[in-house]
């Protein structure tokens, strides 16, 4: 059965995922049995009782109470088993333990923003220590999104105006993909995130210095990575085409007309200010909907983004 489980289901990231998969395979077995039973009966009857010439039916029996009771009661018992088992696992999935690492999740049109208890913020990615339960307290700022991590088998809608919570106990180190599962507009399919499960020391190291992969990376390359992972790509294009925000193409070093009519030279300070206080200077014919990245980006990451924008000629 494991080969079928590996085909049907993604890798298991948590103990709950294993529990869920056992339940899942139980229903697969049940479904396969009943489907094969029905198909076998249909094929056999069609072949065995095919009409030869103008032959009448062999019997006109119209009901058999015992048989009808059997094929009502047995399915009822089976579905009640499925209900009870499903309810038991559901309570495990949705009742968080007390001592969990609590992370605030805010979903907004097309990016995930996370905030750790110590105030550190990240966008579209989180690092969690292995073996310690994590509890996500989620809310949305605009429409309904849904926090879905297939390898943890967990999903819950992120509803505006309301807090919903979700928890998981990571047990497999590595990278797990986060999807948005509730349709939320143009960027619904781009609203992906990453959950990195690290060992205890790697997690502490990450908390101080940030991702070691990015520390050694040249600034412009890191900027390109951040352009994607921090969600800049959903509003700023690189090819000059207009989206919610102005395109980066050919911006650096040129005059920019602002909404209040004045024009300003797009130098490093302007780019930095636009990242950290976007409402200060808004390009004309655009709305001031860009969120501030103050506290969301380390100093090195801001420099990297500036270098990246500089390269977009």
Partner 1 sequence: MADVASTSHPMAAGEPAATNYLKAERGFKSWIFTLDHKRIGVMYLWSVLLMFLLGGIFAMLVRLELLTPGKTIMEADTYNRMFTLHGAVMIFLFIIPAIPASLGNFVLPLMLGAKDVAFPRLNLASYWIYVIGAVFGVVAMVTGGVDTGWTFYTPYSTTSSTSVTTMTFAAFVLGFSSIFTGVNFIATIHRLRAPGMTWFKTPLFVWGIYATAIIQVLATPILGITLVLLMMERVFSVGIFDPRLGGDPVLFQHFFWFYSHPAVYIMILPGMAIISEIIPTFSRKNIFGYRAIAYSSVAIAFISFLVWGHHMFVSGQSELASAVFSFLTFLVAIPSGVKVFNWLATMYKGSIDLKAPMLYAIMFLMLFAIGGLTGLFLGALATDIHLHDTYFVVAHFHFVMVGGTVIAFIGGLHYWWPKMFGRMYSEKWARIAAVLIFIGFNVTFLPQFVLGTRGMPRRYYNYLDQFQPLHAFSTVGSWILGLGLFIVLGYLLASLRKRYDAPPNPWGGTTLEWTTSSPPIAHNFEHVPVVTREPYDHSPAPAPAPAGD
Partner 2 sequence: MAAHSYAEEKKINTAVLGSLLALTALTVAAAGIHFESPAVNTIVALAIASMKASLVALFFMHLRYEKPINAIIFLTGIAMLAVFLGLTLLDVDYRATPRPANLKPPPGGFTAGVEPAKPGGTAPPAAGEAAQPAEQAPPAR
Q: Give contact residues for partner 2 (rule: CB under 8 A).
A: 95-98, 100, 104, 106, 115, 135, 137, 139, 141-142, 159-165, 287, 289
Q: Which does 156 bind (CB under 5 to 8 A by kind): partner 1, partner 2, none?
A: partner 1
The helix (H) or strand (E) run that includes residue 37 is helix 15-48
Q: Which does 45 bind (CB under 5 to 8 A by kind): partner 1, partner 2, none?
A: partner 1
**Which lies closer to partner 2 via its Cβ, residue 159 or residue 172?**
159
**Which lies closer to partner 1 via its Cβ, residue 140 or residue 274?**
140
**Which lies closer to partner 1 via its Cβ, residue 34 or residue 199?**
34
Taking only Cα atoms into account, the Rg of the chain, rounded to an integer number of angstroms, comes to 28
Nearest distance from residue 117's CB to partner 2, in Å?
Answer: 9
Q: Which does 128 bind (CB under 5 to 8 A by kind): partner 2, partner 1, none?
A: none
Strand partners, 175: 196
Binding residue for partner 1 (CB under 8 A) from 1, 2, 3, 63? 63
Nearest distance from residue 97's CB to partner 1, in Å?
Answer: 16
Q: Which of residues 179-208 bind partner 1 (CB under 8 A)?
A: 179-190
Write b or e for each residue in 52-80: b if 16 or more Cβ atoms lie within 10 A of its Cβ, otherwise e.
Answer: eeeeeeeeeeeeeeeeeeeeeeeeeeeee
Q: Beta-carbon neighbour count of residue 124 at 10 Å?
A: 20
- Cα–Cα distances in Å, from 56 out to 50, 51, 61, 190, 248? 11, 8, 13, 62, 79
CB proximity list for 310: less than 8 A, separation 6 or greater: 220, 252, 253, 268, 271
Write b or e for each residue in 231-261: b if 16 or more Cβ atoms lie within 10 A of its Cβ, otherwise e.
Answer: bbbbbbbbeeeeebbbbbeebbeeebeeeee
| Residue 241 found at the interface with partner 1 (CB under 8 A) | no
Nearest distance from residue 83's CB to partner 2, in Å?
Answer: 17
Mark the segment that binds partner 1 (CB under 8 A) among 63-71, 115-123, 212-220, 259-267.
63-71
308's tokens = 């990246």
Q: Closest Cα partner for 266 from 244, 245, 281?
A: 281
Q: Which of residues 90-149 bind partner 1 (CB under 8 A)?
A: 90-94, 142-144, 146, 148
40's tokens = 């076998």
Site string for partner 1, 266-295 (x = CB under 8 A): ------------------------------
Nearest distance from residue 97's CB to partner 2, in Å?
Answer: 7
270's tokens = 């302007």
Site string for partner 1, 39-58 (x = CB under 8 A): x-xx--xx--xxxx--xxxx
Secondary structure (3-state) at 129: strand
Mark the segment that binds partner 1 (CB under 8 A) among 18-26, 250-258, 259-267, 290-298.
18-26
């Amino acid at each position: 059965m494991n080969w079928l489980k590996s085909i049907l289901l993604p890798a298991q990231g948590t103990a709950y995922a294993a529990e869920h998969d056992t339940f899942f395979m139980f229903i697969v077995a049940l479904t396969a049995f009943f489907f094969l039973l029905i198909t076998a009966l249909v094929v056999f009857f069609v072949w065995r009782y095919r009409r030869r010439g103008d032959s009448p039916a062999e019997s006109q029996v119209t009901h058999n109470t015992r048989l009808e009771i059997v094929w009502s009661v047995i399915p009822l018992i089976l579905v009640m088993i499925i209900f009870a088992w499903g309810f038991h696992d559901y309570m495990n999935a949705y009742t968080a333990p007390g001592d969990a690492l609590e992370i605030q999740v805010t979903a907004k049109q097309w990016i995930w923003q996370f905030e750790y208890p110590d105030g550190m913020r990240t966008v579209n990615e989180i690092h969690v220590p292995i073996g310690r339960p994590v509890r996500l307290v989620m809310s949305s700022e605009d429409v309904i999104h849904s926090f879905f991590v297939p390898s943890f088998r967990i999903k819950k809608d992120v509803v505006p105006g309301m807090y919903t919570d979700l928890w998981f106990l990571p047990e497999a180190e590595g990278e797990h993909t986060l999807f948005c599962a509730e349709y939320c507009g143009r960027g619904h399919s781009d609203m992906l995130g990453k959950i990195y499960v690290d060992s205890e020391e790697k997690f502490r190291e990450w908390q101080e210095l940030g991702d070691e992969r990015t520390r050694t990376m040249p600034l412009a390359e890191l900027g390109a990575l951040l352009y994607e992972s921090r969600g800049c790509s959903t509003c700023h294009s690189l090819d000059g085409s207009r989206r919610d925000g102005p395109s980066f193409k050919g911006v650096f070093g040129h005059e920019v007309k602002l909404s209040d009519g004045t024009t300003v030279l797009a130098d490093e300070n302007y780019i930095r200010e636009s990242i950290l206080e976007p409402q200060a200077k808004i390009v004309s014919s655009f709305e001031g909907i860009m969120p501030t990245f103050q506290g969301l980006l380390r100093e090195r990451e801001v420099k990297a983004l500036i270098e990246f924008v500089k390269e977009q000629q």
